[in-house]
Amino acid sequence: MGKDLWIYEKNAMDQGYVRIAGVDEAGRGPLAGPVVSAAVILPEFIAISREVDSKKLTHGKRETLYQTIYENAVSIGIGIVDHREIDRVNILNASLLSMAMAVENLCPQPDYLIIDGIFQIQYGLPQRPVPKGDSLSMSIGCASIIAKVTRDRLMERHHQDDPRYGFNRHKGYPTREHKAAIAEHGCSFIHRKSFKGVKEYEHFLS
């Protein structure tokens, strides 16, 4: 028998909470683009998938589950913090801010949050951080899929605007291809100027 992906939701329900939102982000590690968070409230014990950790899914499976989640969720909220704000407040604070924005965009509002990671967010609700929560909680895992697909689509759009960096392939992560493109072309307008691998080329704006 596999792990119970509803264990954290059940614990919250046992405490009397009804609308439990899972919250996760995508895009802390890239050198370019926004950090995107999602908050998801699911119907009780809906069978979405046996695996919902976006990092372990293929592109095609993520896209399929993204559609399934949107068709079945009680509510989905998205929070996006762009590269300028990331440079201003640092990536950790930007990530937590995007999570709070995602929760704020839920309708109806939740009464309890389970959050991927070790930090709480600044939001006036009871909440529980869960390290590696995207592989342990159905709600967080679904949020990870929504956040990842949403961010990937944004980066694919940026690629259409400026194909020199290959954002459609690496989505802004520090791959060898991406680093070589920065060295050749300099920084684009969506690069995070405070990040190592970018700030060295800040004077070389394309």
Name residues whose C-beta falls within 8 Å of residue 185's C-beta, 6 or more positions apart in sequence: 164, 165, 206
Q: Which pLDDT tens digit goes with each residue over 68-99? A: 999 999 999 999 999 999 999 999 999 999 99
Domain 7-160 has CATH 3.40.50.970: no
Is 1's pLDDT higher than 90?
no
For residue 175, what pLDDT is reported?
Answer: 97
Is 173's pLDDT higher than 80?
yes
For residue 66, what pLDDT is reported?
Answer: 97
Q: What is the mean pLDDT of residues 118-124?
A: 97
pTM: 0.95
Closest of 153, 112, 107 to residue 22, by C-alpha: 112
Instruction: State residue 184 phi and psi, 5-degree precision.
Output: -80, -45
Q: Which pLDDT tens digit goes with each residue over 2-49? A: 689 999 999 999 999 999 999 999 999 999 999 999 999 999 988 888
For the chain, give the mean pLDDT. Answer: 95
Is 106's pLDDT higher than 90?
yes
Q: What is the mean pLDDT of residues 89-112?
A: 98
Q: Which pLDDT tens digit goes with each residue over 158-168? A: 999 999 999 99
Is 185's pLDDT higher than 70?
yes
Distances (CA, A) of 116 to 44, 78, 132, 134, 137: 19, 15, 6, 6, 9
**Token match 């800040």: residue?**
202
Is 128's pLDDT higher than 90?
yes
C-alpha 122/C-alpha 200 separation (Å) is 33
Please give the structure tokens belonging to residue 96: 């937590």
Q: Please give the DSSP secondary-structure letter assigned to residue 201.
A: G
